[in-house]
Amino acid sequence: MRIITKDEFFLHIDEFEKKVKEGAVFVYPTDTIYGIGCDATNNESVERIRELKDRSSAPFSIIAPSLEWIRENCRIPPDANEWLKKLPGPYTLILALKKLHCVAPSVTKDGKTLGVRMPKHWIRAMVRKLNIPLVTTSVNKTGKSFMRSIDDMDNDIKARVHFIIDEGPLEHNPSNIIDLTGTTVTVTDRSR
């Protein structure tokens, strides 16, 4: 495991992007809290995150490379367009999948819906450059508190990721969840 700064990440961006494409699991900052992620099309890497988090069945969300990617791979009901206009931002939109194979089966677990994010943060530029979706989930064991600082990270997770991008303490809350799969929009406000 290697801890790097944002500057080190950008200085060696090609090296780290190659690691992600080869299956690396890593920790990174967002506009909300720290996330743990990997290439969302790599089922083996996604399963590794499941093991690290002790999370066998709940679906993961992804950071989408672009709005076009979301429109191409997810069903966009009329209510969703207003929420898409709020991206990038601290929202996770739950949408019905249109193309089942746009992410690894282990991401969604049900193959029907997908949580998509586009953080208002520099990490989005890396995802856009990679042009693949990136798993995004809080860095914690299931049922434990999410972390806002690398110092708060579970030692088992810290020892088993490939690299960590440390941006210092983050004073935000997890993204709000906007479920756009039903007949009405359901908003779960996680800012409290």
pLDDT in tens, 49-78: 999 999 888 899 999 999 999 999 999 999
- Per-residue pLDDT band at 153 (split at 50, 70, 90): very high
Domains of the chain: 2-188 (3.90.870.10)
Distances (CA, A) of 17 to 22, 37, 38, 63, 126: 9, 13, 10, 15, 8
Please tell me the pTM assigned to this model. 0.93
pLDDT at site 192: 53
Measure the CA–CA gap between 136 and 139, rounded to whole angstroms. Answer: 9
pLDDT in tens, 82-137: 999 999 999 999 999 999 899 999 999 788 999 999 999 999 999 999 999 999 99
